[in-house]
Amino acid sequence: MVYDGLMKRVELLLDDETDERLNSFAEAHNCDKAEVLLQIIRANTLTEAELEEIEEANAEEFARQVKRSEENFKAGRFKTWEEVKRKAGL
């Protein structure tokens, strides 16, 4: 990978299991552990940005679904999880 700017050296303390997983990812992707961490962090940032974009684009639909669900609960068309468990004897 080509690094696009300043790099910092950071020391991280990992437990044995996390270190093994990090090594495994690095081997599987033919790169070093720093590259794996870089990609994970960047992917997470991208995912958050994409989710925000989806939420914004669908805000009206989400609000409509919440309103419809609230109305259906008030009308008694649905049961709460507590009611379902109580009726099932759980």
Tokens standing for residue 26? 């690095």
CA–CA separation, 42 and 71 (whole Å): 40
What's the pLDDT band for 2 if we cut at 50, 70, 90?
low
Domain span at 43:
14-57
Q: Do 72 and 86 belong to one domain?
A: yes
Q: Does one domain contain both 53 and 64?
A: no
Instruction: Clarify whether residues 51 and 18 are in a common domain.
Output: yes
CA 69-71-77 angle, 5° bins: 80
Cα dist from 79 to 59, 72, 88, whole Å:
26, 10, 12
Question: Which residue's entry shows tokens 């910092």?
Answer: 8
Among all chains, which residue has been given the structure tokens 């009726």? 87
Domain count within the chain: 2
With a cut of 60, say whether residue 73 has pLDDT above it: yes
Interval 9-59: pLDDT, tens: 889 899 999 999 999 999 999 999 999 998 888 888 878 888 899 999 999
For residue 38, being part of any structural domain is answered with: yes
Average pLDDT over residues 54-78: 92
Identify whether residues 52 and 80 lie together within a single domain: no
